[in-house]
Structure 1
Amino acid sequence: MVQKQKKVTQTEIVDPICLASRVEDACQDNCSCCCCGEMDVSSVPDDICKVFDDILVDNDDCKRVYVTIGLFTIVRLTRKVELLIPVVDFCIPRNECIQSTDSNPCELFDKLKFPVDEFFPPEKCHFDSIDSVSAGYGCGCGCGN
């Protein structure tokens, strides 16, 4: 008999990074961008729109602000299994950099080093403390240092 197991997801997010921003004049007669006329706010998730007390897009204004934000996230999916696997280390996925233009904010984001310490801060026992080791106290975490 197969039992369904409860899955638990956990998401960790580091503070967002502003990669690019610009202000454009939406009232130009020769404007060929998609922002002219009515701005489609349906592409903005409802949960984000609810955070703001005011309207998100004012179609009467001739200025538009565009912001590109980069996020580092780790999503964990955990559930009970019958196999116990000892975790020795974690691996960081390597991303493949793609050639891009100077106006592409993704190029900047691809060059950023993954913030490992934000998700996995160093343990106290990873630091060599000359005073405590020489005194024989160790760091107290059981690693022997």
Structure 2
Amino acid sequence: MSENKCTCGGSLTQREAVCIDTQRILDSCKDRDCYEDQKVWLTEYGQDVIDHTTVIRVRRAEIIRANVSVEPVDFSRGFYRVSVRYYIKLVFEGCVCKGNSREFDGIVVLDKSVVLFGSEGSVHIFRSSCEDFCGGDDCSADCGTNAPTAVVETVDPVVLSVRVAEAGCRSCCVCGCNEVPESVWSCLSGAVCGANDRRVLLVSLGIFSVIRIERPAQLLVNAATCAVPEKECRNCVDDTSCDPCSIFREMDFPVNEFAPPSACTFEKRVK
């Protein structure tokens, strides 16, 4: 399959200085956050399950959405507060009478805030768009803003513990039911239960994240001239002379998929 690799063609020895428009990282940080005893918003079905059992386990957890906002810090020029709100969907399994199990889902809302350096900018940035011609959509609140852009990278949370607590038990909840976007509720298998006088499900989660602040920048870089690719595209759907089995035989055997890493190799990857 070597012919499928990217080939630019042309002379790669001829270099020139070109100006590119990209995002420059001004500040960044990494963190691990532990959220203890966070309330899970359940459906009516899930609420009925925890009302009849305390044997619950988490089958999977995934971040389905994150809202990120950037605001300048008062009396600290060039610094910005990055606020992140995670919406996490969890799938649970509860053991009920006679050894039966029931699966249900819920939503957990988590907040995180950091302060990073984002420098200052006095220019307003506007970009051309075909929709804006002849008075298209109204300009949004952040149109032409000179604020930096915050980027959040994270992995799915690590589930540390889960337990059922009685009604009235103190728990951590960063927002009310009406503050969660409808698009998040639509990810659940049913309508959310807003009762406050029944049992609650609490989870503890760990999240690894990397947050950075970026600004547009024009940089001068050395580049090699690149011609039109010499390789022609192959389409086995329309090309009757193309043999799918011959293409399959050219693929490398996935040895790593059949050989799980040893303890030493795994430790090296972790480090």
TM-score (normalised: structure 1): 0.36
Considering fraction of residues, name the structure with more strand.
2
Larger radius of gyration: 2
Normalising by structure 2, report the TM-score.
0.22
